[in-house]
C-alpha cells in the first residue's frame, strides 16, 4: 500500500481522485476560471469541474491546445459549458487582455483556480523583465486575482454563495533562501539559483493566499483563499529540467501520483462543503496540512503583497 493511501480527517487521502472527492457535488450554476487548463492537472481539474456542472473558462497560453482539450471534455460530457481564452501569465499585458475578454463574456465568477506553473533550467527573464518563474507562477496570478476580484465579490454578494480562490503551490516552497523570499537574488544566472527561484515562486503562492485571506476577511466578503499542494505528479512541468525529468520517468510510477490524484486536492478545496468557511490555509492530500515556517510568516506575506502590488502597478 502506498504511503498516500492513508485517509485523513476529511475521509480522503493522497490516493483519492478528483472524481472521488467531488462525488455527489452539484455545482451547476457556478463559474470557474482555471489557468493552465489545457494539460496535466489543470486539464483534469477542468474536466471534473465540468462533470460536476461548473461552467469552466480555460485560461491557456496555447489556444490550439486549449481548444483540443475543451473538445475532449465536451465529447465526454455533452453540454459542458467550456470557454477557451488566451493568457500568457508571464506577460502582464496578456493577463490584462484576458481579464477584459472574460468581462466581455458577462459571466459571474465563483471560483478562481490559479493552477498554471513553469519550472526552468536557468534564470531567464519575462518580457516584463522579471525572473520568469516568479513572473509566471506568482506575479501573473497575483495580477489576475486582483483584476477578477471585484467580479467575485459581486457574485458572492448577489448569490450568497461563497467564492473560492485556490492557489496551486508545491512542496518546493521549502526550497528557498534561509530568510525567505530575497527578491534581489532571483537575477543570478545559475541552475541552482533557478531551482531556488522556483521554490520562491511556490512559497509566494502560499504567502499570497495568506495575505489575500486576511484582506478578504478585513473587507468582510464571503470569499476564501487557500493554497494546495497537488503532490508529485507526472506531468510536463519538468520538461525543462533534464535530470529531474529522467528521474520522474524512471521511478515516478512508484512514488508519484496520477493526474487524477494530483487534481483531487484542488477540486476538493474548490468544491467540497467541508472546506466552507476555511480560508488562509494550506492543503495537501485533501486534508489540512502545515507548510514551512516561512510560508506561515504573516510579515513576509505582507511584504510580498506590497512588493507584488508595486510590480503590477508600475
Which positions are annotated as active-site residues?
198
Tell me if residue 204 falls in helix, strand or coil. helix
Distances (CA, A) of 204 to 108, 211, 257: 27, 10, 24
Dmax over CA atoms of the chain, in Å, equals: 52
Q: Is 11 left (phi over 0), alpha (psi -120 to 50) or beta?
A: left
User: Rounded CA gap, 132 and 123, in Å?
Assistant: 7
Q: Find the helix or strand (DSSP H, E) in which 252 lies.
A: helix 242-255
DSSP 8-state code for residue 161: P
For helices 191-219 and 298-313, what crossing angle results, to 10°? 100
C-alpha cell at 189: 544566472
User: Rounded CA gap, 140 and 136, in Å?
Assistant: 5
Do 165 and 212 form a contact (C-beta atoms < 8 A)? yes
Amino acid at each position: 500500500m502506498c504511503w498516500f493511501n492513508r485517509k485523513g480527517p476529511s475521509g480522503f487521502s493522497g490516493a483519492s481522485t478528483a472524481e472521488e472527492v467531488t462525488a455527489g457535488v452539484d455545482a451547476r450554476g457556478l463559474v470557474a476560471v482555471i489557468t493552465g487548463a489545457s494539460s496535466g492537472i489543470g486539464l483534469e481539474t477542468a474536466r471534473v469541474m465540468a462533470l460536476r456542472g461548473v461552467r469552466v473558462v480555460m485560461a491557456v497560453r496555447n489556444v490550439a491546445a486549449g481548444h483540443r482539450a475543451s473538445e475532449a471534455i465536451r465529447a465526454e460530457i455533452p453540454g459542458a459549458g467550456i470557454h477557451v481564452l488566451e493568457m500568457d501569465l508571464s506577460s502582464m499585458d496578456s493577463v490584462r487582455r484576458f481579464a477584459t475578454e472574460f468581462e466581455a463574456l458577462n459571466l459571474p465568477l465563483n471560483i478562481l483556480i490559479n493552477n498554471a506553473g513553469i519550472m526552468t533550467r536557468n534564470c531567464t527573464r519575462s518580457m516584463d523583465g522579471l525572473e520568469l518563474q516568479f513572473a509566471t507562477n506568482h506575479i501573473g496570478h497575483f495580477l489576475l486575482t486582483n483584476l477578477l476580484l471585484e467580479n467575485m465579490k459581486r457574485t458572492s454578494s448577489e448569490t450568497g454563495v461563497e467564492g473560492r480562490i485556490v492557489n496551486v503551490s508545491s512542496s518546493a516552497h521549502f526550497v528557498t533562501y534561509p530568510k525567505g523570499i530575497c527578491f534581489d537574488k532571483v537575477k543570478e544566472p545559475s541552475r541552482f539559483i533557478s531551482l531556488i527561484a522556483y521554490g520562491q515562486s511556490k512559497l509566494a503562492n502560499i504567502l499570497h493566499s495568506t495575505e489575500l485571506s486576511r484582506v478578504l476577511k478585513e473587507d468582510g466578503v464571503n470569499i476564501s483563499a487557500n493554497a494546495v499542494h497537488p503532490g508529485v505528479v507526472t506531468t510536463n512541468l519538468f520538461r525543462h529540467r533534464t535530470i529531474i525529468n529522467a528521474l520522474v520517468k524512471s521511478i515516478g510510477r512508484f512514488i508519484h501520483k496520477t493526474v487524477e490524484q494530483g487534481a483531487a486536492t484542488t477540486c476538493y478545496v474548490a468544491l467540497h462543503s467541508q472546506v466552507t468557511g476555511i480560508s488562509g490555509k494550506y492543503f495537501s492530500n485533501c486534508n489540512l496540512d502545515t507548510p514551512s515556517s516561512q510560508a506561515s510568516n504573516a510579515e513576509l506575506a505582507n511584504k510580498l503583497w506590497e512588493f507584488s502590488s508595486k510590480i503590477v502597478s508600475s
